[in-house]
Amino acid sequence: MDFQTRCVHTGVNKDSAYNSCTTPIYPSSTFYWNDLETNSGYDYTRSGNPTRRALEENLASLEGGIDCRAVSTGMSAITAAMYLFKPGDHIITGNDIYGGTFRLFYDVFTSQGYKFSFVNMRDPDAVKAAIKPETKGLWIETPSNPLLNIVNIADMVEIARENNLISISDNTFLSPYLQRPLDMGVDVVVHSTTKYLNGHSDVVGGAVITKETEHQERISYIVNAMGLACSPFDAWLVLRGVKTLGPRMEAHQRGAIAVARMLDEHPKVERVYYPGLESHPQHELAKSQQEGFGAMLSFDITEDRAFAEKVFKNLKLFQLAESLGGVESLIEYPETMSHASMTAEARKEAGISEKTIRVSIGIESPEDLVADMKNGLDA
């Protein structure tokens, strides 16, 4: 079936008693056994739940994996994926990744004996130079958060295969509607389902999708053992949201390119970070591995933080808030919000400054969004 058809129909037909056209919510914490050896397929919701399983079937289908585990947050998904490794292992990742991911790697997992190198992953030679005998994985985030840098997935897959590394890609920014890393050879994909997959800013969740049995079994074990799974109601919300993923992403992108083009010409804007602009240095690479340019963009203003605060106060449609991927447009200041958990040195290395502003374009009228952003900058 076509992608959007699978968004609507995969994981739905679970009600054999009443033929519900939507997936039922099974809030039960436990399920009774038929006898000492058999049950209906579920015994305890931490280990498995029919509603959550429906979502997992849906997301595995959309990403092209053999299985999925739906978890409580995006950070839970990253945590589960990191347990494909063990203390002493070395993982290479980008120097411009999401601040929460940086914190988890730099503080939490480093204290447990994991080792990380944060490099410019746009440069394959820099990745190759960082490889050590103990290197076991590549963590790929493309487009990067918040500067929308594009990592060449094919190059990373080649490096991973040549060095027997596990490749993991965070596909949150684009969703499987616009990019499918597993199809390009990546081993594991993670999502914050809070974002585009749910799309309505009313749930937090995550997902880990695998295409190898070995990885699938390990992730399943870790999610159960650590109690990372999401609740049935949260799974139902994401499954409801993903039905409109395709139409939403098209609407998001229409607004994003309109706002990006206006910003690119505005005298108060120093630089726009959006791969959909022909002026973006990786525009052609993005075209070659993505099926669209997404709805995230960032820009540097010509002045300092005080000017940024004035812009935020004069906006009517863009809400000053963290997160992204919802139907409403959000704007935020990475230095004190989404990337405050990075060290100042790490932010500088990544190219994030007090001039940087990140925007998540919603599905409002592109004309209204352009007018609102222009008014904010002009005021």
Alpha helices in 83-227 (DSSP H): 99-103, 110-111, 124-130, 153-162, 175-178, 213-226
Clarify whether residues 255 and 273 are in a common domain: yes
What are the pLDDT digits (tens) for 325-359? 999 999 999 999 999 999 999 999 999 999 999 99
pLDDT at 224: 98
Tokens 């399943």 map to which residue? 220
pTM value is: 0.96
Query: How far, in Å, CA of 277 to CA of 285, rounded?
Result: 12
Q: What is the pLDDT of residue 249?
A: 98
Residues 110 and 99 in one domain: yes
Residues 233 and 268 in one domain: no
Residue 26, pLDDT above cutoff 90: yes
Same-domain status, 189 and 255? no
**Do residues 33 and 63 both lie within one domain?**
yes
Q: Answer yes or no: is pLDDT of 92 > 90.
A: yes
pLDDT at 168: 98
Domain total of the chain: 2
Distance CA 202, CA 328 (A): 12
Is the confidence at residue 373, as pLDDT, over 90? yes
Q: Output the pLDDT for position 116.
A: 98
Residue 160 CA to residue 153 CA, distance in Å, equals: 10
Residue 115: which domain range? 3-242
Q: Which residue numbers are catalytic? A: 46, 98, 170, 195
DSSP-assigned beta bridge partners for residue 168:
139, 188
SS3 56: helix
**What is the C-alpha separation between 324 and 224, in angstroms, rounded?**
28
Given a contact cutoff of 8 angstroms between Cβ atoms, the answer to whether 170 and 98 are in contact is: yes
Distances from the Cα of 276 to the Cα of 174, 246, 284, 356, angstroms: 13, 18, 9, 18
pLDDT in tens, 106-119: 999 999 999 999 99
Statement: residue 379 has pLDDT above 90: no
Judgement on whether residues 169 and 33 belong to the same structural domain of the protein:
yes
Report the share of the chain in percent with pLDDT over 70: 100
Do residues 230 and 277 both lie within one domain?
A: no
| Pure H helices in the chain | 3-9, 50-63, 74-82, 99-103, 110-111, 124-130, 153-162, 175-178, 213-226, 232-242, 245-265, 283-289, 305-313, 344-350, 366-378
- Quick one: 265 and 199 in the same domain? no
| Token reading at 241 | 């949201």
End-to-end distance of the chain based on CA atoms, in angstroms? 49
Please check whether residues 183 and 305 belong to one and the same domain. no
Shared-domain flag, residues 10 and 90: yes
Residue type, 347: R
Last residue of a domain, one of 242, 267, 293: 242
The CATH code of the domain that includes 120 is 3.40.640.10
C-alpha 217/C-alpha 222 separation (Å) is 9
Which of 193, 216, 242 is the endpoint of a domain? 242
Q: Report yes or no: 204 and 322 within 8 Å, Cβ to Cβ.
A: no
The closest of 364, 375, 352, 288 to 144, measured between CA atoms, is 352
Instruction: Read off the amino acid at residue 165.
Output: L
Phi, psi of 190 (to 5 degrees): -120, 155
Domain boundary among 242, 272, 301: 242
Give the lowest-confidence range in 10-19, 86-95, 188-197. 10-19
CATH number at residue 260: 3.90.1150.10
For the beta carbon of residue 282, count every other beta carbon within 10 angstroms.
Answer: 17
